[in-house]
Amino acid sequence: MKLLVFLCVLSFPSAVFTGSHSLSVLTTYIEGETPFPAFNVLYMLDDITVGYFDSETDNYVPRGNTTNEDEEVDHISHCIKKQLRPFILDRLAGKLLNKTAGPVVFQVLGLCEMLDNDKPGQMITKIAFNGLTTDEMRFFYDMFTHQSIEKLSALLLEIYKLHYVNIYYPRCTTDLRSYLKKRATQGKRKVKPRVRLIKKANSDSGGFRVSCLATGFYPRHINLTLFRDGQPVSDHEITGGDLLPNGDGTYQMRKSLEISADKHKYSCSVTHLSLDNKLHVTLEFDPGEPFKSVIPSVLIVLALLLVFGTGAVIYKYKRRRAASSKGDYSSASTSEESTDTKSTHEAEEEVTQMS
């Protein structure tokens, strides 16, 4: 379980995206006895795997559309063998001296973005060792920032910046543009989100939970905001907000807010690349009148119950009347028949006596 946690530290690059498209590479090196390959590299265009490094054959293997990507494959394979793997082994050399029991996991996540106006976005590099992020570097608009648990010299930071400006950033953005062009069908697919504003009673607090759910959208970049009386709700009041995959390859996101039965109006706004001109989709309701929307339905149901109930009573009453009337008629007929029979016998006796 501990090893799986380590492997997941940098395996979710979607959490740092702000652009419309991205090219990312996740490298994992494991020192020790595990069922996983010692060296693993995964390349992704957004959430589409475009290739991986096979440590057994020591080659980069493209996936999907491979007919016209020889240039990208050769370049990526060269970078992995000549730059990425030596960098990781060099960084690990000092750390393995203090190795603890169990496997050692070292991960590097590199990512560059393309904005929706076809301009390069930020580039991010994160480094993690045994489940702890040790370094994070960002480059955007000629600004280079670096955070590390170890203090680095000014000279080393300047070298990092020069590598970003002259090598990593231009190469990554060039490959990203190339992949977007050659895999346009995959990379530029857009599916509009379905948005719902949901209110449920919370039995624990006695109030309500308002949730804004956006689901079925692609690509995964989305901006979802909850509003109270037209003003954005502060982040510390909101729960959720995680990006989750659906089974059909689309995504979903939910943000929730605990409220009382107040008279504020809540709405939800969603911005997504599939919406024309990035228009907002807004839904509203007033929790101050929680039963207003269901009153017509309740009245209709009550009216139908009254009509059918009255009809049932009338029907039963008529059946009882009919049964009672039939019983009286049968008794009267029997009495008359007995009287007639008696008169006939008396007449026969009188005739016999006269004879």
Specify the pLDDT at position 347. 44
Supply the pLDDT for residue 142.
83
The DSSP annotation for 250-314 comes to -EEEEEEEEE-S-S--EEEEEEETTSGGG--EEEEE-TTSTTGGGHHHHHHHHHHHHHHHHHHHH
Query: In angstroms, rounded to a whole number, what is the distance separating the alpha carbons of residues 290 and 286?
Result: 7
In terms of pLDDT, which residue wins out, 256 or 283? 256
Spans of all domains in the chain: 2-187, 194-289
- State which of 67-81, 217-231, 272-286 shows the largest mean pLDDT: 217-231
Residue 219 has a pLDDT of: 83
**What does the alpha-carbon distance between residue 111 and residue 12 come to, in Å, rounded to a whole number?**
11
Instruction: Please give the pLDDT value at position 242.
Output: 92
- Which uninterrupted H or E stretch holds 187? helix 184-187
Task: State the Cα angle at 212 between 209 and 217, rounded to 5°.
Answer: 150
* Fold of the domain built from segment(s) 2-187: 3.30.500
- Mean per-residue pLDDT for 344-350? 48
CB contact set of 63 (below 8 Å; sequence gap of 6+)? 49, 50, 51, 52
Q: Residues 6 or more apart from 196 whose CB is under 8 A from it?
A: 212, 213, 283
Listed range (23-32, 261-270, 285-294) with the worst mean pLDDT: 285-294
Q: Which pLDDT tens digit goes with each residue over 320-335?
A: 776 666 555 454 444 4
Q: Is 129 helix (H, G, I), strand (E, B) or coil?
A: strand
Q: Which amino acid is at 330?
A: S
Q: How far apart are CA 123 and CA 140, in angstroms?
A: 7
pLDDT in tens, 163-173: 888 888 998 99
The residue count of the chain comes to 355
Q: Among the listed ranges 30-44, 66-80, 217-231, 257-271, which one has the minimum average pLDDT value?
A: 66-80
Count of Cβ atoms closer than 10 Å to residue 126 Cβ: 21
Res. 336 pLDDT band, cuts 50 70 90: very low
pLDDT, position 283:
54
Residue 140: what pLDDT?
87
Question: Cα separation of 117 and 337, whole Å?
Answer: 106
| Tokens coding 133 | 């992020």
HSE (side-chain half, CA atoms, 13 Å) at 301: 5
- CATH code linked to domain 194-289: 2.60.40.10
- Identical fold, 2-187 and 194-289: no
Could you tell me the pLDDT band of residue 337, with boundaries at 50, 70 and 90?
A: very low
